[in-house]
Amino acid sequence: MTDIARARPGGIAVFVAVAFAVTWAIWTPLLVQAQTTGLERMPWTFFLASIGPLCGAVAASAWEGGPRGVAAWARRIFSLRFRGVWWLAGIGMPLVYLVIAWLVTFVVTGAWPDPAGFGLTEKLPGLAWPAVALVWVLSFGLGEEAGWRGWLLPALTRSVSPFWAALVVAGVWIAWHAPAFFFNPSYISMGAGIVGWMLALVCGSFLLAWMALGARGSIVPVLLWHAGFDLLTAADQSAGIIASTISAIVMVQGVLCAWLLWRRARAVRGAAVVHA
């Protein structure tokens, strides 16, 4: 990426430190409350904490390139100069997930999910699904993707292939969630299923890396996909069949994208050897 071609060293350390510090500082009081008096419901600060990776990206961009670095980063991640297929991917894939998951639910249970419960979550009581979708877009969609795929992924690809960069991003992404496993009921109830969650997140990292690279560094399609995925899987009615079905689809997609990224890396190495 041209905006980080002559970057000041240390940007990745700054990004990780700020991203974790901001999110964990906001989540720590929730963890303490959950371990002492308990959480009656998820407060709005749970969603606010999603700005950690976004703050990390701003801080790292400023560290590496000053105000111009931040401006260049913002122009790139919000650019709409990508092929239309990536709009289709960002919006269309969650819609396909929804259709498949509802079909699976009907086959397994003999009944369709209640349309009135679509997208609704007890974490955002009283909000209709369009408002819930907007919250996901502005919180974990924008907050995370501005950092993970918007800054960390391209920063890592300066020194390693996109395959390894996506794998490293997945590791950082998993670690960033750590406090939530002590106060978020959705995570606490996973038990041994945490292993499957980690694998799904790794696969998701490969899929989203493929999308971000295809969209020329823009996070717009990735942001929409992430928000759509959260809307579908975090809904109260999704616990069980719907969430499991969608996660399984993403894992298959992630394995395919990992293979494609691995092939791309091998092709680049082969071309380098030929021209050496």
Give ∠ CA 123-129-132 in degrees, rounded to 5: 45
Q: What is the pLDDT of residues 34-79, one digit of tens each?
A: 999 988 889 999 999 999 999 999 999 999 999 999 999 999 999 9
Residue 7 has pLDDT above 90, yes or no: no
Q: What pLDDT, on a 0 to 100 scale, did the predictor assign at position 186?
A: 83
* Helix locations, 126-161, DSSP H: 129-136, 142-145, 153-156
Residue 266 has pLDDT above 60, yes or no: yes
Q: What pLDDT, on a 0 to 100 scale, did the predictor assign at position 276?
A: 53
Q: What pLDDT, on a 0 to 100 scale, did the predictor assign at position 6?
A: 60
Mean residue pLDDT of the chain comes to: 93
The DSSP result for 26-52, as a single string, is: HHHHHHHHHHHT--SS--THHHHGGGH
**Global pTM value:** 0.92
Q: What pLDDT, on a 0 to 100 scale, did the predictor assign at position 215?
A: 97
Q: What is the pLDDT of residues 210-262, one digit of tens each?
A: 999 999 999 999 999 999 999 999 999 998 999 999 999 999 999 999 999 99
Residue 273 has pLDDT above 50, yes or no: no
